[in-house]
Structure 1
Amino acid sequence: MPADSTRGPGTPGGSGGTGPRHRAKGRRRKPPTGRRRALTAMAWTAVGIVVLGGAGAGFLYFKLNGNLRTIDINQALGGHRPTKADNGSENILVLGSDTRAGGNRKLGGGTDDGSARSDTAMIVHVDQGHKRAGVVSIPRDTLVDRPECTDAKGGTHAAAHDAMFNESYSTGGAACAVKTVESMTGLRMDHYLEVDFSGFRKLVDELGGVRVTTTRNIDDPRSHLDLKAGTHTLDGQQALGLVRTRHGVGDGSDLGRIQLQQAFVKALADQVKHLGVLTNPKKLYDLADTATKTVTADSDLGSVNSLIAFADGLKGISSSRMTMVTMPVRYDPADPNRVLLEKAKAAQIWNALRNDKPIPRTATEGTATGKASGVVSAAP
């Protein structure tokens, strides 16, 4: 948490496992008047993007602004970072966090000890014209070389070889997660957005649910999810179960869960564009209130006005203009529960994003998939 923030998230403790690996034995709008303005906030949720709206004026503005939590990534990381692209594009690191505390205790299945994990991670690349987006999901089980990093409280954490990617967040919080991604990709993350599980559930409920179609039954008691094949309007709890399940579909890996998350993001983005929330000021405000309580942003986005401007530049990006891929990986032969980066293929993605070009199909051909593609789609 930056020194000037009173609501910044606590830095998760613990250094994470960095010991030797062992071979596994098992398988693997316009406002109506000048005195009232529409407040539009872009919340990139634990599973992607959702455009939200709210009406605020006077004290309502200050209340919403006070909801926001911020973290000064630039101060924490200093000057040793990749150079910012000069082509007008932007990269945003989006994390979905499981804080294991407060409202997340039951959702996360852990204890109320304040520890935290990052269960979802996406690099969102917005092109120069803000008309298209490339989204690269990072499997949490990827073994990476985590660089030495300093968290937002000034604590230093040693570098680690073959550490799980999501340990970056649990070790040093947002700053360490950003530094790990920048070290791995060579790309500067211009912004950081984080949404917690509890807030994600509330957002879906306040949106009235999200319609999806499943091509097969999904039954995962661990995620409290039981869906028959067909079309459903998922409430917040069901949506949370869908984006967290890894045992109900595919090969049981995190890669299958990522495929479900990507399908849900597209369904969510399509639905939000058709909601008439701007005609209902109370619903508009409730959505904005929940969104601003849910989001943790980098300090450059840490105000309602900044979020409005950011969202306004993204409102033209529909699901048909999103390219969503999983970072190229292969299963670790020493442990099928872990994956290893396919560096040559990943380089194709990083180079495309750096040069503001489309992600080539060859970058993901022949890589591990999770075998859950096509199970979930947006309902007609």
Structure 2
Amino acid sequence: MSLFENIKMALMSVKAHKMRSILTMLGIIIGVAAVIVVVAIGQGGEAMLKSQIAGDGNTIEVFYQPSEEEMQQGDWEQNPFTSDDIRELEKLDKVTNVVASTSEYSTVRLRDESTDTSITGINQAYMEVNKLDIAEGRGFTSADFLGGRRVTVVSAAMQEELFEGKSPIGEIIRVGVQPVEIIGVLEKPTGLFAFGSVDTYLPWSAMRNMFGTNNYSQVTLEVGDTDDLKPTGEQATEVLNRLHDTEDSYQVMNMEEIAAGIGQVTTIMTTIIGSIAGISLLVGGIGVMNIMLVSVTERTREIGIRKSLGATRQQILFQFLVESIILTLIGGTIGILLGSGTAYLVSFFADWPSLISWQVVVGALVFSMLIGIVFGILPANKASRLDPIDSLRYE
């Protein structure tokens, strides 16, 4: 009997026992779908997390690490970056933007309403590099920064908190006791990792006048090419340590390296959880073996007739092995479709990329076939060893 005839017989057997076949394939379907969903969610979440942490992969955060002696004496700056530092960093060859900011926590009031907020004084490059888009009103202009105008751009959460969703443009709020005019509202962040925090942004010159802040607390460098990250970071720390007469208090943090480390952790977790989900494939394989043993028992007379007509042991074994493989392949295919659809829905609602790896899909299909072979050998071998005389007498 040819392979095509064996496949045809296997499909006829599956069709003849629809409910039993579906229940048998259920373990394979769930197992394959679970593995694909887990891996797709893991890879998609990793990509989203890395993009949010590392941005476009061409930024370096500069930070200040006080020495042990400074820590013990309490003689260290909370806002360690001066305006002179920023100007010197902007002179570096490969630096395209220097993002500087200072943050404070304060209470914002609108008449009788108030809320706690993070007040961030920013320089002109901040909003562009951090991709803070305006949903309503306008952003800061050069005149706002140069003139120290008391104007602010607020987050969407601030609009909901103080204005109940109404337009706040032109309203005067009090940051602490200082009056500030709202000129813009940021777009509401989206995605699973998007948090609607209540934020208020001011030109740094305005924040300096309002809070008496002379220095910056955070500095990030943007370079044109990721290959320039390391040398530019080394130049930046050398300049800052020289300006402040320190050895290595100023250091750099490559966000791309941090994202790579997070990627390793998420890959390990995805592998572990995916392996656990893969256990259901083994359970499904046991179900296939069980139903194939039942099928062999039910078709004992058929096996006896085939053997009496000249069918060899290898042909009987191959017939039931093909049937087992077909059963698991159908289950695996349905599982792939179900898993891919579920992964797409999750990525759609979570607003992250749907990364369904073709390697995982092919691996799941091959693994399903291997399960059919491994767990089909015992029933197929049992069928091939049946004595034709005893089989014909079987009731």
What is the TM-score normalised by the length of structure 1?
0.22
Q: Which has the higher helix share?
A: 2
Structure with the bigger RCO (C-alpha within 8 Å, sep 6+) is 2
Q: Which has the higher strand share?
A: 1
What is the TM-score normalised by the length of structure 2?
0.22
